[in-house]
């Protein structure tokens, strides 16, 4: 009896479906928090939605194109509701980081007017959540629809072999985005590369690979790479923000100094990013994928070599 229970638990669910289901539930929990929703809850909800979209990409090969697009659009649109807050908060974080790093060069620079405007933007973003309950309800509805679609289309019964194909495609897109960013070096290309790195990182972490051998080094490298590219993107947004007409009250010399420091910092961040990227994307997609899947713990790895359970089998979220 005990042996039978172990077998059922090993084959109870495609691990990518468990990841998708848990991530959507987590996002819903944060969005249903009492008003006003805290900055931390908004941040955690965004992280959960990114995990959900990474899980969906792992399952993509097991569903129709239309189903994938519908589910992905729902998760994407739910995340867009949180974007105003993220954008306003990231600008302040980018500015604070720049000020901390180059404080000696900004000692004589009057940055108070700039800080005031950035914080005012964040205050407006927070108010957005308080005064737009309909948008929040629509966001929650989108996520509930995503859960319903996953059940209707039986995502849990997708052959878990689709994970190998999904992970390979994520890695392939990351390699392509890396090559494009290395060629053109535009903010758009760098941002696209960063998104693909995050999909890969979230997908791998969601599959719970064992913490041994080179896998830890790969995960650490991806995390650092995502941070470098994320910081670069935030500095791009800060540069564009302070160039807007709303910042006329800020002394032009202050703006000029900040642009110079932003360019200096971005050069260093990109150098580190491309150094890590070269190491991360030096393998062929098929070889990389097989290496990662070998590190999945037995309870999850078993589903990678067996057919998914029938309708009678229970669904167990991971």
pLDDT tens, position by position, 270-286: 999 999 999 999 999 99
- Position 151 scores a pLDDT of 95
- Position 212 scores a pLDDT of 64
pTM of the model: 0.86
- Position 109 scores a pLDDT of 82
Interatomic CA distance for residues 9 and 122, integer angstroms: 46
pLDDT for residue 122 is more than 90 = yes
- Position 213 scores a pLDDT of 62
More confident residue, 234 or 127: 234
- Position 247 scores a pLDDT of 72
Band the pLDDT of 299: cuts 50, 70, 90: low
Q: What is the pLDDT averaged over residues 83-98?
A: 94
Least confident of 83-92, 162-171, 240-249: 240-249
Residues 3-35 pLDDT 10s: 333 333 333 468 899 999 999 999 999 999 888
Band the pLDDT of 297: cuts 50, 70, 90: low
pLDDT for residue 305 is more than 70 = no
Q: What is the pLDDT averaged over residues 120-134?
A: 88
Q: Which CATH architecture has domain 2-304?
A: Alpha solenoid (1.40)
Least confident of 58-67, 123-132, 199-208: 123-132
Residues 191-245 pLDDT 10s: 999 999 999 999 999 887 666 667 888 999 999 999 999 999 999 999 999 988 6
pLDDT for residue 310 is more than 70 = no
What mean pLDDT, rounded, does the chain reach?
87
């Amino acid at each position: 009896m005990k042996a039978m229970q172990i077998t059922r638990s090993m084959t109870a669910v495609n691990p990518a479906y468990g990841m998708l289901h848990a991530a959507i539930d987590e996002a819903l929990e944060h969005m249903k928090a009492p008003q006003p929703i805290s900055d931390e809850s908004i941040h955690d909800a965004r992280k959960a939605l990114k995990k959900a979209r990474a899980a969906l990409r792992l399952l993509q090969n097991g569903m129709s194109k239309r189903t994938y697009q519908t589910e992905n659009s729902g998760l994407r649109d739910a995340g867009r509701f949180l974007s105003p807050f993220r954008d306003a908060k990231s600008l302040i974080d980018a500015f604070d980081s720049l000020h901390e790093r180059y404080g000696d060069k900004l000692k004589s620079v009057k940055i108070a007017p700039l800080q005031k405007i950035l914080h005012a933007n964040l205050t407006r973003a927070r108010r957005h959540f308080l005064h737009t309950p309909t948008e929040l309800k629509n966001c929650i509805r989108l996520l509930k629809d995503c859960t319903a679609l996953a059940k209707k289309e039986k995502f849990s019964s997708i052959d878990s072999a689709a994970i190998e194909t999904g992970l390979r495609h994520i890695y392939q897109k990351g390699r392509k985005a890396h090559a494009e960013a290395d060629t053109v070096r535009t903010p758009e290309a760098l941002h696209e590369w960063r998104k693909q790195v995050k999909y890969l990182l979230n997908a791998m972490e969601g599959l719970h690979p064992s913490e041994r051998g080179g896998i830890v080094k790969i995960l650490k490298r991806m995390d650092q790479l995502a941070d470098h590219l994320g910081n670069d993107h935030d500095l791009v947004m800060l540069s564009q923000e302070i160039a807007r007409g709303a910042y006329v009250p800020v002394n032009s010399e202050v703006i000029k100094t900040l642009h110079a420091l932003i360019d200096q910092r971005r050069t260093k961040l990109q150098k580190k990013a491309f150094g890590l990227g070269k190491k991360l994307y030096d393998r062929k997609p098929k070889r990389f994928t097989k290496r990662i899947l070998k590190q999945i713990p037995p309870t999850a790895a078993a589903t990678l070599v067996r057919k998914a359970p029938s309708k009678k089998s229970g669904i167990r979220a991971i």
